[in-house]
Amino acid sequence: MPDEVVIKAVTQWYSEKPMKMLLPLFFADGTRLDQLEIDCAQCARVLRAQHQRGMVCMVMADTYRLKGLAACDQCRSFTRFSFLCSGADGVVTVEWKKGESVVRTQVRATWLMRLATWLSRRT
């Protein structure tokens, strides 16, 4: 990576919020997204919330855009990410662009979590 790209990424890194402060995301019916795992673009290591910083904005009801950077200590590089997340019925759909196409994956909340949500909604 050229120096100015690295400097820009480092500056952005310090100006963004830690992902731990942004998650979990809650959707209208109680479905939640607890964490996102991002693969390092350089070495494919899985980067969890403590290695992610960014921002969340609501695009439309129950759909959020999550964007930011994931930092890898192993190869000392940053991976940029930008996702669209929507959630309902305990399933969160995550979408992102890969070249010209859109990749879509679904993350299922655990049954225990759904039960807890259901119970808390009744009280």
Residues that bind Zn ion (CB under 5 A): 40, 42-43, 45, 72, 74-75
Q: Which helix (H) or strand (E) element contains residue 59? A: strand 52-60
**What's the min distance (Å) between Cβ of 120 and Zn ion?**
38
Closest CA to 96 of 71, 50, 55, 64: 64
Let me know: does 37 contact 48? Beta carbons within 8 Å.
yes
Residue indicated by tokens 């991976």: 79
Residue indicated by tokens 């050229």: 2
Taking the least distance from each CB to Zn ion, the nearer of 1 and 102 is 1
**What's the min distance (Å) between Cβ of 77 and Zn ion?**
5
**What's the min distance (Å) between Cβ of 28 and Zn ion?**
36
Taking the least distance from each CB to Zn ion, the nearer of 40 and 69 is 40
Taking the least distance from each CB to Zn ion, the nearer of 10 and 116 is 10
